[in-house]
């Protein structure tokens, strides 16, 4: 059913007129022009489309837009409105990417981890990130970056 | 400027886009527009006109132009390092413009680890010559002889005359200069200050901020998203199609030749409309599947061709053997599976088509698009923006051709993005292969004969580099094409280090089998057959890093070694694994990788490639294989096609051999070639059974354990 759905997007009020069964990924990318969130598989199997809805990481390719009505949505574009977030800075410093296509999803999923678990162990990082796929093999650096971001976040950044 | 005007349309387009600034003209062989591949002298050749590669702006910033594509391998970064080094400008002052056919010099494509070894020298020469011209200009400006001048960070000065200096930007302000100097030497390697040191990646900020644009991130008013009616199986032909429901839904339908496309302004609604299309197909019979493929390859292979130089007499060598070891090694088809599926956005404006495409070869795609839409090449512009992984799978651009065709037909901008299912279906897989090796071992533990026959993979690095007096390796069919029809039942192509993963797996597995037969430590056995100093050095370095303790395999420790060559690079790997003998599951605990590529431009970037090769290599070694039956690819997403994950991570250690005086070889491929074999050898050492087929999935490990 097409209707107007209102929510908070990257800290600002937003609304879209759309069939409410459409997936959030496509509404973000096509209707709202936020292309930082990527399509990788369409079946919640790779994590490239990960965004934050009410502090939880969700796979936007399988999240109907009706489910976000009234909620807080954060995408890679809204993570560091005044510059890079500590996680982005850590990814940059460690070169925790190669092609960069999985990177927004990796960063958003790591962000959700640190919201829930500000000081994760390596085992917790790996378990939380395990369903986000990276074909280039930047995994070692991604773990290092998250570890460092966790330390930096606690340091009062 | 006159000289520029005579260069033709492409050159004028280049200048218009590049804006004012100094073009360092060298006047070498002005053969014409440097975007035209047909006029280039050699396969690897870029333009002989060096100004194609660089521009120095009035603000002193340097722009490097190259036809390479940033796939994640870090070429933006290393090209900036090379140019900064030769020009004596700050690395941070170099911008890099890549893979735009309107402004970048021709490049045949980004594959084969050719960025640094092939483009690098051309860029060094251009930078060195530009620097020499600028020094001359500074000398005239400052009235100081060139030999008293120095350059630091783009500022020319006389150390003996404080205050007398001029920046490159000041030299070029408001001027255009044509000056040419011949045979300007490049910098000696030992004076390098930028090359050879880790550099911050040029693509980092865009990629961590979500601003990096990929081919599907370009949008225009009126953009239509196109989805093609898919074939259910290889060789299927559409016999009937009913698109009325899709049209009723609001999609536009285009039928052109064998293409049936539905288009909608929302990508997901285009997907929905595609689901409403009813099509009938004729499917050819397809008897081969992922189990019968190996017999099929042997039955359909063409004549064997020599792979490398034979030596001695294999039959005579076998007569000297105390033991013969013969095995057949198999590997399945493997997908590229880049995270970004093939994507393209095309727009036609004023009789010119521009296509942003995820491709490793924008100039090839330009030719393909020009042919498909009937435009002259100068009216086709292809840009490869950031590309979300290639690995050899994006060396053409069928999606770009489709987008351009549809943009021309509809008069609207059109975007084509393959679904993950299409990415698996249309992929050009790493070929399945059968490699039989029969080798003779003397009572003294020396290999006296080697007879290798590889079918399906291709001949690269198939001949052993070991000291074997009597040897012959032959190859039939491969990834390059030209195979008998139906030999490979679907598309095959280059997959990161084409041929060489297969051939290294077979050779290095067999070396281990021979070492075990001889009762000799597998490292020592290799060194006993190696006189190549660079190969010995990577092995010995790996042993030191790993803490290799000699022992006869299987020792139960789960350790393995393998080494390999690719192009002129040398790599060695050592691994430690644990094998769960009840499930057959393999856990890689530690992996040491050593690489000698000669000069390394960006050591940190090289380590990224090594880490990526280890992880991607673990995929083809342990889980990745394409399942198929009845002409259908059964793997359609990442549920059944299992990529490496975080939970797989072993302790990874990378060691780069310091070898700066040896010309650079690319490093994006060599470290992956050993991973199949090093894990197979470590599994053998752990469990006492050799797994002869990649990937070494639990059921194959269990099956090998049962055989003993």
Query: Minimum mean pLDDT among A69-83, B73-87, B176-190, B501-515: which range?
Result: B176-190
Mean pLDDT of B233-245: 95
Instruction: Determine the pLDDT at residue B52.
Output: 82
Residue B176 has pLDDT above 80, yes or no: no
**B13 vs B659, residue with greater confidence:** B659
Which residues does chain B have within 8 Å of residue A138's beta carbon, measured at their own beta carbons? 608, 611-612
Which residues does residue B155 pair with via DSSP β-bridges, in sequence order?
B152, B167
Which residues does chain B have within 8 Å of residue A95's beta carbon, measured at their own beta carbons? 201, 204, 604-605, 608
Task: Report the top-level CATH class of A2-75.
Answer: alpha beta
Mean pLDDT of B103-119: 86
Nearest neighbour of A36 by CB, restricted to B71, B210, B225 = B210
pLDDT band at B48 (very low <50, low <70, confident <90, very high): low
The interface residues of chain A toward chain B in range 34-63, judged by CB-CB distance below 8 A, are 35-43, 45-46, 48
pLDDT band at B598 (very low <50, low <70, confident <90, very high): very high
Cβ within 8 Å, pair A101-B338: yes
pLDDT band at B26 (very low <50, low <70, confident <90, very high): very low
- The CA distance from A149 to B306, in Å, is 55
Q: Which residue of A has its CA nearest to B204?
A: A92
Nearest neighbour of B207 by CB, restricted to A97, A125, A130 = A97
Which residues does chain B have within 8 Å of residue A109's beta carbon, measured at their own beta carbons? none
Q: Cβ contacts of residue A21 below 8 Å, gap of 6+?
A: A1, A64, A65, A66
What is the dotted CATH code of the domain comprising B216-283+354-417? 3.30.365.10
Mean pLDDT of B430-451: 98
Mean pLDDT of A139-156: 85
Of A136, A83, A148, give the one whose Cα is nearest residue A110. Answer: A148
Residue pLDDT, tens place only, B336-357: 999 999 999 999 999 999 999 9
- The CA distance from B360 to A30, in Å, is 26
- Domain map (residue ranges) of chain B: 2-206, 216-283+354-417, 293-333+429-707
Q: Which residue of A has its CA nearest to B205?
A: A92
Which residues does chain B have within 8 Å of residue A40's beta carbon, measured at their own beta carbons? 339-341, 420
Cβ within 8 Å, pair A39-B612: no
Cβ within 8 Å, pair B649-A80: no
Q: Tokens 């020499």 — which residue?
A: B132
Instruction: Determine the pLDDT at residue B16.
Output: 32
- The CA distance from B98 to A154, in Å, is 40
Mean pLDDT of B448-460: 98
Asked whether the beta carbons of B679 and B577 are under 8 A apart, the reply is: yes
Give the best residue of A27, A122, A128, A137 to mutate against chain B (max B CB count within 10 A): A137
Q: Tokens 């698009």 — which residue?
A: B369
Instruction: Determine the pLDDT at residue B46.
Output: 64
Q: Which residue of B has its CA nearest to A99?
A: B72
- Asked if CATH classification 1.10.150.120 holds for the domain at A86-154, the reply, yes or no, is yes
Size of interface A-B (CB pairs under 8 A): 164
Cβ within 8 Å, pair A97-B341: no
Cβ within 8 Å, pair B340-A30: no
Please report the beta strands in B8-135, taking only residues with DSSP state E, as ranges in sequence order.
54-56, 62-66, 94-98
Q: What does the block give as tokens for B483? A: 């195979």
Give the best residue of B207, B356, B650 to mutate against chain A (max A CB count within 10 A): B207
Nearest neighbour of B649 by CB, restricted to A31, A75, A140 = A140
Instruction: Determine the pLDDT at residue B14.
Output: 32
Nearest neighbour of B645 by CB, restricted to A29, A99, A133 = A133
Q: Pairing state of beta strands B651-656 and B586-596?
A: parallel
- The CA distance from A132 to A141, in Å, is 14
Estimate to the nearest angstrom the gap between the alpha carbon of B338 and the chain centroid. Answer: 12
Cβ within 8 Å, pair B389-A140: no
Residue A42, min C-alpha distance to chain B (Å): 7
As a whole number, the mean pLDDT across chain B is 91
Residue pLDDT, tens place only, B196-230: 999 999 999 999 999 999 999 999 999 999 999 98
Instruction: Determine the pLDDT at residue B182.
Output: 84
What's the sign of the alpha-carbon dihedral B32, B34, B38, B44? Answer: positive
What percent helix, strand, coil does chain A show, rounded to 5?
Answer: 40, 20, 40
Instruction: Determine the pLDDT at residue A80.
Output: 84
Residue A93 has pLDDT above 60, yes or no: yes
DSSP 8-state code for residue B115? I
Instruction: Determine the pLDDT at residue B30.
Output: 28
Residue pLDDT, tens place only, B676-695: 999 999 999 999 999 999 99
Q: Cβ contacts of residue B174 below 8 Å, gap of 6+?
A: B58
Residue A70, min C-alpha distance to chain B (Å): 23
Which residues does chain A have within 8 Å of residue B341's beta carbon, measured at their own beta carbons? 39-40
- The CA distance from B355 to B408, in Å, is 12
Asked whether the beta carbons of B225 and B343 are under 8 A apart, the reply is: no
Which CATH number is B2-206's, of 1.10.540.10, 3.40.30.10, 2.60.120.1440, 3.30.365.10? 3.30.365.10
The interface residues of chain B toward chain A in range 602-621, judged by CB-CB distance below 8 A, are 604-605, 608, 611-616
Cβ within 8 Å, pair B211-A36: yes
Which residues does chain A have within 8 Å of residue B638's beta carbon, measured at their own beta carbons? 41, 45-46, 133
pLDDT band at B68 (very low <50, low <70, confident <90, very high): very high
Residue pLDDT, tens place only, B257-293: 989 999 999 999 999 999 999 999 999 988 899 999 9
Cβ within 8 Å, pair B388-A104: no
Residue B623, min C-alpha distance to chain A (Å): 14
pLDDT band at B547 (very low <50, low <70, confident <90, very high): very high
**B118 vs B625, residue with greater confidence:** B625
Q: Which residue of A has its CA nearest to B70?
A: A99
Percent of chain B residues past pLDDT 90, beyond the cut: 84
CA distances from B303 to A87, B474, B478 (A): 56, 9, 12
Of B539, B517, B516, B403, give the one whose Cα is nearest residue B466. Answer: B539
Mean pLDDT of B49-58: 83
CA angle B431, B435, B441 (to 5 degrees): 160
Task: Report the top-level CATH class of B293-333+429-707.
Answer: alpha beta
CA torsion angle for B625, B572, B339, B212 (degrees, to 10)? -170
Cβ within 8 Å, pair A139-B646: yes
DSSP 8-state code for residue B430? B
- The CA distance from B446 to B410, in Å, is 69
Whether B2-206 and B293-333+429-707 share one fold: the answer is yes
- The CA distance from B673 to B474, in Å, is 19
Cβ within 8 Å, pair A95-B608: yes
pTM: 0.94
Determine the angle formed by the axes of helices A122-129 and A139-154, rounding to 10 degrees: 120
Which residues does chain A have within 8 Å of residue B391's beta carbon, measured at their own beta carbons? 135
Mean pLDDT of B235-245: 96
Mean pLDDT of B79-99: 97
Which residues does chain A have within 8 Å of residue B611's beta carbon, measured at their own beta carbons? 137-141
Q: Which residue of B has its CA nearest to A130?
A: B646
Which residues does chain A have within 8 Å of residue B214's beta carbon, measured at their own beta carbons? 38, 101
pLDDT band at B49 (very low <50, low <70, confident <90, very high): low
- Domain map (residue ranges) of chain A: 2-75, 86-154
- The CA distance from A69 to A17, in Å, is 12
Residue A69, min C-alpha distance to chain B (Å): 19
Mean pLDDT of A85-102: 98
Instruction: Determine the pLDDT at residue B22.
Output: 46
Instruction: Determine the pLDDT at residue B117.
Output: 82
Write down the ipTM of this complex.
0.97
Percent of chain B residues past pLDDT 70, beyond the cut: 92
Can you tell me whether residue A116 is helix, strand or coil?
helix
């Amino acid at each position: 059913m097409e209707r107007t759905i209102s929510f908070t997007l990257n800290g600002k009020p937003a609304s879209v007129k759309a069939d409410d069964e459409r997936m959030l990924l496509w509404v973000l990318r096509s209707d709202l022009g936020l292309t930082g969130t990527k399509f990788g598989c369409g079946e919640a199997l790779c994590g490239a489309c990960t965004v934050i809805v009410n502090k939880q990481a969700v796979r936007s390719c399988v999240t109907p837009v009706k489910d976000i009505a009234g909620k807080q949505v954060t995408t890679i574009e809204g993570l560091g409105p005044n510059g890079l977030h500590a996680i982005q800075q850590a990814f940059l410093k460690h070169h925790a990417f190669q092609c960069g296509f999985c990177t927004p999803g990796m960063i958003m999923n790591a962000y959700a981890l640190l919201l829930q678990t500000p000081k994760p162990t390596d085992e917790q990082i790996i378990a939380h990130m395990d369903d986000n796929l990276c074909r280039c093999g930047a995994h070692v650096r991604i773990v290092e970056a998250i570890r460092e971001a966790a330390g930096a976040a606690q340091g009062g950044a | 400027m006159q000289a520029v005007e005579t260069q033709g349309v492409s050159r004028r387009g280049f200048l218009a886009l590049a804006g004012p600034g100094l073009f360092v003209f060298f006047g070498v062989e002005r053969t014409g527009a440097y975007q035209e591949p047909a006029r280039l002298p050699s396969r690897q050749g870029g333009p002989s006109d060096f100004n194609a590669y660089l521009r120095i702006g009035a603000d002193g910033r340097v722009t490097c132009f190259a036809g390479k594509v940033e796939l994640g391998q870090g070429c933006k970064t290393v090209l900036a390092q090379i140019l900064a080094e030769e020009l004596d400008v700050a690395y941070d002052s170099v911008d890099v413009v890549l893979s735009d056919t309107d402004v970048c010099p021709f490049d045949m494509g980004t594959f084969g680890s050719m960025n640094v070894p092939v483009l690098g020298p051309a860029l060094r020469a251009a930078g060195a010559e530009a620097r020499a011209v600028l020094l001359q200009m500074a000398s005239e400006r400052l009235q100081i002889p060139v030999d008293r001048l120095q350059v630091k960070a783009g500022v020319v000065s006389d150390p003996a005359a404080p205050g007398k200096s001029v920046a490159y930007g000041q030299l070029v302000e408001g001027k255009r200069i044509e000056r040419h100097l011949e045979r300007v030497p490049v910098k000696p390697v030992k004076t390098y200050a930028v090359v050879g040191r880790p550099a911050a990646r040029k693509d980092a900020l865009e990629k961590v901020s979500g601003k990096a644009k990929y081919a599907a991130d370009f949008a225009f008013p009126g953009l239509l998203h196109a989805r093609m009616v898919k074939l259910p199986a290889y060789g299927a032909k559409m016999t009937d199609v009913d698109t009325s429901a899709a049209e009723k839904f609001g999609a536009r339908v285009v039928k052109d030749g064998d293409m049936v496309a539905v288009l909608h302004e929302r990508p997901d609604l285009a997907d929905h409309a595609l689901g409403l299309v009813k099509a009938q197909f004729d499917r050819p019979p397809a008897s081969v599947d992922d189990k019968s493929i190996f017999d099929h390859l042997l039955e359909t292979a063409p004549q064997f061709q020599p792979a490398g130089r034979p030596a001695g007499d294999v039959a005579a060598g076998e007569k000297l053997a105390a033991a013969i070891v013969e095995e057949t090694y198999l590997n399945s088809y493997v997908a590229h599976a880049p995270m970004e599926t093939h994507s393209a956005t095309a727009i036609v404006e004023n009789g010119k088509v521009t296509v942003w495409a995820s491709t490793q070869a924008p100039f090839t795609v330009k030719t393909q698009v020009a042919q498909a839409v009937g435009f002259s090449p100068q009216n086709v512009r292809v840009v490869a923006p950031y590309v979300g992984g290639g690995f050899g799978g994006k060396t053409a651009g069928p999606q770009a051709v489709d987008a351009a065709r549809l943009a021309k037909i509809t008069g609207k901008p059109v975007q084509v993005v393959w679904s993950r299912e299409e990415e698996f279906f249309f992929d050009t897989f790493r070929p399945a292969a059968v490699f039989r090796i029969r080798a003779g071992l003397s009572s003294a533990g020396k290999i006296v004969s080697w007879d290798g026959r590889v079918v399906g993979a291709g001949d690269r690095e198939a001949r052993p580099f070991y000291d074997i007096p009597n040897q012959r390796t032959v190859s039939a069919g491969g990834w390059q094409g030209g195979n008998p029809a139906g030999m490979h039942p679907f598309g095959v192509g280059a997959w990161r280090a084409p041929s060489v993963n297969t051939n290294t797996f077979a050779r290095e597995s067999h070396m281990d089998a021979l070492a075990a037969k001889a009762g000799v430590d597998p490292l020592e056995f290799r060194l006993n057959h190696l006189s190549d100093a660079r190969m010995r050095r990577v092995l010995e370095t790996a042993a030191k890093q790993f803490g290799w303790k000699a022992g006869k395999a299987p020792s139960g420790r789960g350790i393995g070694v393998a080494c390999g060559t690719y192009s002129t690079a040398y790599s060695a790997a050592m691994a430690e694994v644990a094998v769960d003998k009840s499930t057959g599951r393999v856990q890689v605990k530690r992996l040491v990788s050593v690489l000698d590529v000669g000069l390394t431009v960006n050591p940190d970037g090289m380590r990224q490639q090594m880490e990526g090769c280890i992880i991607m290599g673990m995929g083809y070694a342990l889980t990745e294989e394409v399942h198929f039956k009845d002409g259908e690819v059964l793997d359609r997403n990442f549920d059944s096609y299992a990529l490496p994950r975080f939970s797989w991570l072993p302790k990874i250690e990378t060691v780069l051999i310091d070898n700066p005086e040896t010309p650079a070889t690319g490093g994006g491929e060599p470290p992956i070639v050993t991973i199949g074999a090093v894990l197979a050898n470590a599994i053998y050492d752990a469990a006492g059974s050799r797994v002869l087929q990649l990937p070494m999935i639990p059921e194959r490990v269990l099956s090998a354990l049962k055989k003993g």
